[in-house]
């Protein structure tokens, strides 16, 4: 494994490689970014680079014993701190402090991975502060997280942040094609994954297209009026989880229609603006007749629904309200 | 050996070296000079502002061979040991990991022993807010009357978590965030000493994202150095994953031009470059705030927001003229809402895209702010036309009320202020007019300026007066009256929807306007929609429809409803004065109980007449077909 395996993260890779090449490794790094964009892979390569016996310009050789042990997670100087149950406990952090006070066994450094860092509660994070700021000896901490909000600002500010962005669509599509066999659904999968392979691979290529078809059918059905909305509410009553997924598809579909409306060139528009790239003609055709205000209203309704679901509003009530709202907007959208 | 990061390497070693916090430095220096040492200090303030640093400097000053002195020599064994962190008499405790009562008891035991090297024993407890309640209480006694040779220094980012009993026994110092200028000054100093090749612009960008924390700023500088030989603003934004300034400025241009397509293209660029969209929302909002500040405060604002004479200040000046105040306020609000929505969107760019469409297409919105924005746009176009020699008179009265807000060219800040005052007054007047008119005036008001709510949802075509008023009838010509209503029918639905009257709208959707005479509109419902008709007929709902319809049409309209086939159109329509609607082939619910009761079978009268059943029928409608008794 080498830096080539960390794709679409040019800035992060450049920085980490530069650090390895210059030999100026800081004592704590915070890898942030959505799930499924290459943080853990990068952490492994970085650790291998720190411990490699014959590194070349920031690139671990990948052949020496040290490299192989790091990749196999067997290296005695690489420590992984993972949640015990759901959380990283303060005792685990104390263990880290003790371990950090010791010398590395074979390599020049001890490397600690703390993943996911947000699993450490407030007390555990506070316990980390001091050792993060001025760790004894040759220690490098790598904190990995996909949500920085639960981390204390004092923890964040003690680490060198390394940002992993969402993958550009073409990179994600390539990965889906090469490693997951998505074929011609790769573009759609990449777009639906919103730059995260983890998110993209929730659905198989076949399921992607089926769900989209269901979402579009739902939207069409809702244009028929409030009674249709109530019928749909009944139909989806027992399939709430599925409804949430379908709404994601619908959200992207509506977004694409909105974009089609606002694009400068109409039918000849650049398809890379769209998520549903393969449905461009259909989208353009439909979008011509639609009102942006109603599309915005429908999108608002979907976002409001998700907010309610997260706030524990009764799913059934929320879904009924959503479908009625959508129905109003769907009908209004057609009149343009 | 591990590389020591800049913020550790450049921790100030003398009081003179400390950036900012002049109030703390001065007080502490004076205390040392006059040898008036308190026995406990509490340092509070945001991260990276110098709390731990000053705690150590204080320790040095106390224990230096020349001490207590505000100028520790940094050469004597004591100073050197403190700098290396191995002094016996300076005990640094991590309050977060040693937070229990046992740890504090241990401190209490050891406090009694005299210092080994210097004159004082200094206990520095960092992150002191994490101590448990019991631990704090254990501290109390020793804090109140510690041995003469002991000084406590507590450092924390969260002073509100310190018990009042502890805080009141300490001298408290509040550390402040560093200003842009202070941060830049220190960064420049470090960069020069380290031989880092960095431009001044880049340092300013670093300082902006450090948000007053030197540790963040130096950490960022460290990262940028690993990233590129020469640190430029692009390197900094690249490392941070944030949008370069040009794109933030471009966003404001998109708003000024009302160009949705360009805005969406901008989002696409950001997304493809892997920029942090959430941060972009914040940066854009902050930039718009700077524009607002400039509009209000003029050149004075430049020093704090951006440096004068830079490209950025040029853009700021240009956009202060191009962006009206209401639009800026609306944009800042929309960006904030988009940031909140980002959590709930399947694709993170969606809320930003929606905000852009909303802000560049005010015609998609019916809330007052959006309408104001549209009026604002019209006003400016009028001003341009006026400047081109088109006089008010030649354009007709429709434009007249808006002109007070328009002033000919002035220097930007003055113009901005004057304009906003003018706007708010004229718009206020119009809103009042719009609300009063339908209620007070029975006669059409076509000669007057259009009311905001009456505007069609098409993009504004400013200089032409609205077509509807002139085309509208003035008498009671029935056909035209109906046409007038029909012309606004779709809009009525939209307005109801916007005004959160979706239930009323749902009822209304089932009916259609069939006639309109003398301001009384008849809405017909299909026979199987008695439920909708009855609900719409109820006072509350009917009044809602009447209110908005009257506004839209510009005259007072009363609404009556009728079921299709209920004895002909317009005949015996149910009115407000007639609460029990007349019966027809499709029977209103109240009567249904009686008539259909026969069909349900003999001997069921007790059931059919029971109050519960009657009430159920009244509420839900329907017919009783069969009564089955429970034996």
The C-alpha atoms of residue A186 and residue A180 are separated, in whole angstroms, by: 9
Q: Is B337 on the interface with A (CB under 8 A)?
A: no
User: Which helix (DSSP H) or strand (DSSP E) does residue B272 occupy?
Assistant: helix B260-272
Q: Is B341 on the interface with A (CB under 8 A)?
A: yes
Residue whose C-alpha is closest to residue B332's, from B285, B375, B379, B291: B285
Q: Is A138 close to B1, i.e. CB distance below 8 A?
A: yes
Q: Which residues of chain A have pLDDT under 70?
A: 264-269, 335-336
Report how many Cβ contacts below 8 Å link chain A to chain B: 178
Share of chain B above pLDDT 90, in %: 21
Task: Pick the residue of B44, B46, B97 with the most A CBs within 10 A to test the interface with A by mutation.
Answer: B97
Q: How confident is the model at residue B430 (pLDDT cuts 50, 70, 90)?
A: low
Q: Is B358 on the interface with A (CB under 8 A)?
A: yes
Residue B189 confidence (pLDDT) above 90 = yes
B408 vs B387 pLDDT, higher one: B387
Residue whose C-alpha is closest to residue B155's, from B181, B125, B113: B125
Which chain A residue has the Cα nearest residue B224?
Answer: A15
Q: Is B272 close to A169, i.e. CB distance below 8 A?
A: yes
Chain centroid to CA A4: 20
CB-neighbour burial class of residue B300 (10 A; exposed 0-12, middle 13-18, buried 19+): exposed
CA distances from B148 to A34, B61, B124, B151 (A): 54, 16, 16, 8
Residue B418 confidence (pLDDT) above 60 = no
Which chain B residue has the Cα nearest residue A129?
Answer: B96
The C-alpha atoms of residue A136 and residue A145 are separated, in whole angstroms, by: 24
The phi, psi pair for B179, rounded to 5°, reads -75, 165
Q: Is A15 close to B271, i.e. CB distance below 8 A?
A: no
Mean pLDDT of the residues in chain B: 77
- Listed by start position, the domains of chain A span 3-165, 203-333
Task: Pick the residue of B47, B95, B96, B175 with the most A CBs within 10 A to test the interface with A by mutation.
Answer: B96
The C-alpha atoms of residue A265 and residue B261 are separated, in whole angstroms, by: 10
The C-alpha atoms of residue B6 and residue B240 are separated, in whole angstroms, by: 18
Q: How confident is the model at residue B42 (pLDDT cuts 50, 70, 90)?
A: very high
In this structure, of A18-27, A259-268, B2-11, B621-630, the range with the lowest mean pLDDT score is A259-268
Residues 32-51 of B with CB under 8 A from A: 47-48
Of A130, A165, A297, the CB nearest to B97: A130
CA distances from B366 to B374, B403, B498 (A): 10, 23, 7
Residues 202-221 of B with CB under 8 A from A: 213, 215-216, 219
The C-alpha atoms of residue B119 and residue A14 are separated, in whole angstroms, by: 51
B489 vs B26 pLDDT, higher one: B26
Residues 190-219 of A with CB under 8 A from B: 191-192, 194-195
pLDDT confidence of residue B252: 94
CA distances from B538 to B58, B574, B596 (A): 78, 11, 24
Q: Enumerate the residues of chain A whose CB falls inside 8 A of the CB of residue B497.
A: 297, 328, 332
Q: Is A296 close to B364, i.e. CB distance below 8 A?
A: yes
Q: Is B5 on the interface with A (CB under 8 A)?
A: yes
Per the CB < 8 A criterion, the answer to whether A30 and A161 are in contact is: yes
The C-alpha atoms of residue B27 and residue B24 are separated, in whole angstroms, by: 5
Strands (E), chain A: 28-32, 78-81, 110-114, 139-145, 160-163
The alpha carbon of residue B129 is apart from the nearest alpha carbon of chain A, in Å, by: 10
pLDDT confidence of residue B503: 81
Residues 6+ apart with CB under 8 A from A187: A169, A173, A277, A278
Dump pLDDT digits (tens) for B158-173. Answer: 999 999 999 999 999 9
Residues 406-425 of B with CB under 8 A from A: none
Q: Enumerate the residues of chain B whose CB falls inside 8 A of the CB of residue A138.
A: 1-2
- State mean pLDDT over B125-142: 89
Per the CB < 8 A criterion, the answer to whether A331 and A220 are in contact is: no
Q: What is the largest CA-CA distance in chain B?
A: 115
Q: Is B85 close to A134, i.e. CB distance below 8 A?
A: yes
- Ordered by where they begin, the domains of chain B are 6-176 (3.40.50.300), 181-368 (1.20.272.10), 369-437 (no CATH), 477-586 (3.30.300.180)
The C-alpha atoms of residue B596 and residue B623 are separated, in whole angstroms, by: 6
Length of chain B in residues, anyone? 631
- State mean pLDDT over B24-47: 92
pLDDT confidence of residue B51: 92
Q: Is A148 on the interface with B (CB under 8 A)?
A: no
pLDDT confidence of residue B305: 54
Which chain A residue has the Cα nearest residue B214?
Answer: A157
Q: Give the CATH H-level superfamily of domain A3-165.
A: P-loop containing nucleotide triphosphate hydrolases (3.40.50.300)
Within 13 Å and on the Cβ side, how many CA atoms surround A208?
24
Of A137, A154, A168, the CB nearest to B274: A168
pLDDT confidence of residue A335: 59
B197 has which bridge partners? B230
pLDDT confidence of residue A1: 78
Structure tokens given for B491:
């809009």
Residues 6+ apart with CB under 8 A from B411: none
Q: Is B2 close to A166, i.e. CB distance below 8 A?
A: no
Q: Enumerate the residues of chain A whose CB falls inside 8 A of the CB of residue B128.
A: none
The alpha carbon dihedral of B314, B318, B324, B330 has a sign of negative
Q: For residue A116, is the peptide bond before it cis, meaning its omega torsion is within 30 degrees of 0? A: yes
Length of chain A in residues, anyone? 336
Q: Is A277 on the interface with B (CB under 8 A)?
A: no
Dump pLDDT digits (tens) for B347-396. Answer: 788 899 999 998 988 776 666 666 777 777 788 778 878 777 665 444 44
Q: Is B146 on the interface with A (CB under 8 A)?
A: no
DSSP annotation of B160 reads G
- State mean pLDDT over B204-208: 90
The alpha carbon of residue A166 is apart from the nearest alpha carbon of chain B, in Å, by: 6
pLDDT confidence of residue B154: 94
The C-alpha atoms of residue A246 and residue A239 are separated, in whole angstroms, by: 10
Per the CB < 8 A criterion, the answer to whether A59 and A17 are in contact is: yes
pLDDT confidence of residue B468: 41
Q: Is A103 on the interface with B (CB under 8 A)?
A: no
Q: Enumerate the residues of chain B whose CB falls inside 8 A of the CB of residue A8.
A: 274
Number of H helices and number of E strands within chain B? 30, 10
| ipTM reported for the complex, 2 dp | 0.79
Which chain B residue has the Cα nearest residue A132?
Answer: B94
Per the CB < 8 A criterion, the answer to whether B179 and B212 are in contact is: yes
Task: Pick the residue of A97, A328, A334, A335 with the most B CBs within 10 A to test the interface with B by mutation.
Answer: A328
Are β-strands B512-517 and B520-525 bridged in parallel, bridged antiparallel, or unpaired? antiparallel
Residue B403 confidence (pLDDT) above 60 = no
Per the CB < 8 A criterion, the answer to whether B348 and B308 are in contact is: no
Share of chain B above pLDDT 70, in %: 76
CA distances from B353 to A97, A296, B237, B247, B362 (A): 46, 10, 22, 15, 14
Q: Is A251 close to B350, i.e. CB distance below 8 A?
A: yes
Give the CATH fold of the A203-333 domain: Zinc Finger, Delta Prime; domain 3 (1.20.272)
pLDDT confidence of residue B563: 82
Of A126, A194, A259, the CB nearest to B127: A126
The alpha carbon of residue B242 is apart from the nearest alpha carbon of chain A, in Å, by: 10
Q: Is B346 close to A109, i.e. CB distance below 8 A?
A: no
Q: Is B346 close to A328, i.e. CB distance below 8 A?
A: no
B512 has which bridge partners? B524
Structure tokens given for A276:
């549903």
Q: Is B2 close to A324, i.e. CB distance below 8 A?
A: no
Residue B324 confidence (pLDDT) above 70 = yes
Q: Helix or strand or coil: residue B469?
A: helix
pLDDT confidence of residue B433: 52
Q: Which span out of A289-298, B146-155, B267-276, B367-376 was modeled with the highest average pLDDT?
A: B146-155
The alpha carbon dihedral of B601, B606, B607, B610 has a sign of positive
- State mean pLDDT over B4-14: 86
Chain centroid to CA A273: 20
Q: Is A26 close to B157, i.e. CB distance below 8 A?
A: no
The C-alpha atoms of residue A231 and residue A236 are separated, in whole angstroms, by: 9
pLDDT confidence of residue B395: 44
- State mean pLDDT over B250-256: 93
The C-alpha atoms of residue B352 and residue B280 are separated, in whole angstroms, by: 9
Residues 98-127 of B with CB under 8 A from A: 99, 126-127
B417 has which bridge partners? none
The alpha carbon of residue A26 is apart from the nearest alpha carbon of chain B, in Å, by: 6
pLDDT confidence of residue B446: 44
Residue B571 confidence (pLDDT) above 80 = no
Dump pLDDT digits (tens) for B218-248. Answer: 988 988 887 888 999 988 988 888 888 889 9
CA distances from B24 to B49, B53, B214, B215, B530 (A): 11, 12, 16, 18, 78
DSSP annotation of B333 reads H
Structure tokens given for B261:
């397509």
Q: Is B222 on the interface with A (CB under 8 A)?
A: yes
Of A26, A263, A264, the CB nearest to B3: A26
Q: Is A273 close to B240, i.e. CB distance below 8 A?
A: no
Q: Is B493 on the interface with A (CB under 8 A)?
A: yes
Residue B119 confidence (pLDDT) above 50 = yes
Task: Pick the residue of B347, B457, B495 with the most A CBs within 10 A to test the interface with A by mutation.
Answer: B347
Residue B419 confidence (pLDDT) above 50 = no
Q: Is A15 close to B260, i.e. CB distance below 8 A?
A: no
């Amino acid at each position: 494994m080498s830096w080539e395996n960390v794709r679409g993260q040019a800035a992060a890779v450049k920085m980490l490689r530069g650090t390895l090449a210059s030999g100026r490794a800081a004592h704590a790094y915070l890898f942030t970014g959505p799930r499924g964009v290459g943080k853990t892979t990068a952490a492994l390569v970085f650790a291998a680079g720190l411990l490699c016996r014959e590194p070349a310009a920031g690139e671990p050789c990948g052949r020496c014993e040290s490299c192989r042990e790091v990749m196999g997670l067997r290296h005695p100087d690489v420590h992984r701190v993972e949640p015990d149950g759901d959380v990283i406990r303060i005792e685990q952090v104390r263990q880290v402090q003790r371990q950090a006070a010791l010398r590395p066994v074979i390599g020049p450094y001890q490397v600690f991975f703390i993943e996911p860092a947000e699993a450490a509660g407030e007390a555990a994070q506070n316990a980390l502060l001091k050792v993060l700021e001025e760790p004894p000896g040759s220690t490098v901490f790598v904190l990995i997280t996909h949500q920085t909000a639960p981390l204390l600002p004092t923890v964040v500010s003690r680490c060198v942040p390394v940002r992993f962005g969402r993958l550009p669509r073409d990179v994600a599509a390539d990965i889906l094609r090469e490693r997951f066999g998505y074929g011609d659904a790769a573009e759609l999968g990449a777009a639906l994954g919103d730059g995260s392979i983890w998110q993209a691979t929730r659905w198989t290529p076949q399921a992607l297209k089926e769900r989209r078809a269901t979402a579009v059918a739902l939207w069409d059905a809702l244009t028929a009026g409030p009674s249709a909305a109530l019928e749909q509410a009944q139909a989806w009553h027992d399939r709430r989880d599925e409804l949430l997924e379908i709404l994601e598809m619908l959200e992207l579909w509506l977004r694409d229609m909105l974009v089609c409306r606002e694009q400068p060139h109409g039918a000849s528009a650049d398809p890379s603006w769209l998520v549903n790239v393969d449905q461009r003609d259909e989208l353009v055709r439909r979008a011509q007749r639609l009102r942006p205000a109603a599309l915005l209203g429908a999108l608002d309704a979907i976002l409001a629904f998700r907010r309610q679901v997260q706030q524990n509003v009764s799913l059934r009530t929320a879904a009924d309200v959503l479908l009625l709202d959508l129905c109003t907007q769907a009908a209004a959208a057609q009149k343009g | 050996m591990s590389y020591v990061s800049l913020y550790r390497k450049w921790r100030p070693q003398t009081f003179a070296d400390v950036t900012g916090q002049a109030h703390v430095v001065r007080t502490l220096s004076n205390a040392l000079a006059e040898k008036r040492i308190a026995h406990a200090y509490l340092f509070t303030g945001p991260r990276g502002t110098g709390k731990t640093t000053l705690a150590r400097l204080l320790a040095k000053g106390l224990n230096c061979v020349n001490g207590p002195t505000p100028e520790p020599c940094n050469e004597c064994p004591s100073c050197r040991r403190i700098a290396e962190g191995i002094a016996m008499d300076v005990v640094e405790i991590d309050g977060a990991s040693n937070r229990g009562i046992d740890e504090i008891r241990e401190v209490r035991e050891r406090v009694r022993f005299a210092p080994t090297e210097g004159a004082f024993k200094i206990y520095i407890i960092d992150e002191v807010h994490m101590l448990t309640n019991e631990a704090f209480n254990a501290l109390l006694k020793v804090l109140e009357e510690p041995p003469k040779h002991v000084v406590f220094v507590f450092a924390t980012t969260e002073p509100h978590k310190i018990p009042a009993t502890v805080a009141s026994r300490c001298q408290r110092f509040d550390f402040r965030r560093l200003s842009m200028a202070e941060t830049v000054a220190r960064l420049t100093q470090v960069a020069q000493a380290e031989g880092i090749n960095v431009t001044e612009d880049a340092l300013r960008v670093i300082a902006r994202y450090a948000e007053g924390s030197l540790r963040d700023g130096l950490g960022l500088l460290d990262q940028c150095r690993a990233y590129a030989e020469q640190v430029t603003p692009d390197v900094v934004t690249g490392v941070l994953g944030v949008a370069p300034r040009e794109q933030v400025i471009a966003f404001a241009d998109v708003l000024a031009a009302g160009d949705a397509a360009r805005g969406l293209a901008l989002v696409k660029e950001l997304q493809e470059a892997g920029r942090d969209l959430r941060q972009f929302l914040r940066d854009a909002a902050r930039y718009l705030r700077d524009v607002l500040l400039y509009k209000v405060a003029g050149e004075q604002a430049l020093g704090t927001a951006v440096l004068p004479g830079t490209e950025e200040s040029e853009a700021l000046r240009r956009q202060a003229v191009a962006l009206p105040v209401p639009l800026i306020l609306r944009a800042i609000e929309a960006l904030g809402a988009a940031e909140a929505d980002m959590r709930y969107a399947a694709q993170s760019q969606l809320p930003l895209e929606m905000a852009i469409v909303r802000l560049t297409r005010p015609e998609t919105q019916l809330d007052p702010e959006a309408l104001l924005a549209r009026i604002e746009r019209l006003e400016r176009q009028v001003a341009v036309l006026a400047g081109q020699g088109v006089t008010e008179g030649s354009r007709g009265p429709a434009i007249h009320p808006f002109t007070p807000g328009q002033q000919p060219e002035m220097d930007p800040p003055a113009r901005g202020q004057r304009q906003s005052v003018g706007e708010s007054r004229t718009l206020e007047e119009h809103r009042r007019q719009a609300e009063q008119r339908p209620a007070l005036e029975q006669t059409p008001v076509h000669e007057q300026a259009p009311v905001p709510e009456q505007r069609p949802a098409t993009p504004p075509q400013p200089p032409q007066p609205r077509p509807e008023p002139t085309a509208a009838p003035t008498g009671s010509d029935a056909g035209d009256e109906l046409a007038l209503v029909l012309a606004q029918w779709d809009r009525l639905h939209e307005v109801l929807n916007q005004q959160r009257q979706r239930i009323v709208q749902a009822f209304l959707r089932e009916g259609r306007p069939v006639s309109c005479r003398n301001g009384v509109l008849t809405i017909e419902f299909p026979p199987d929609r008695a439920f909708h008709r009855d609900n719409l007929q109820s006072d509350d709902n009917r009044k809602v429809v009447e209110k908005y319809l009257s506004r839209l049409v510009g005259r007072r309209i009363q609404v009556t409803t009728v079921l299709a086939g209920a004895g002909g159109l317009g005949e015996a329509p149910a009115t407000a004065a007639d609460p029990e609607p007349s019966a027809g082939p499709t029977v209103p619910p109240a009567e249904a109980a009686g008539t259909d009761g026969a069909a349900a079978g003999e001997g069921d009268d007790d059931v059919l007449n029971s109050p519960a059943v009657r009430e159920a029928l009244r509420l839900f409608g329907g017919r009783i077909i069969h009564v089955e008794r429970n034996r």
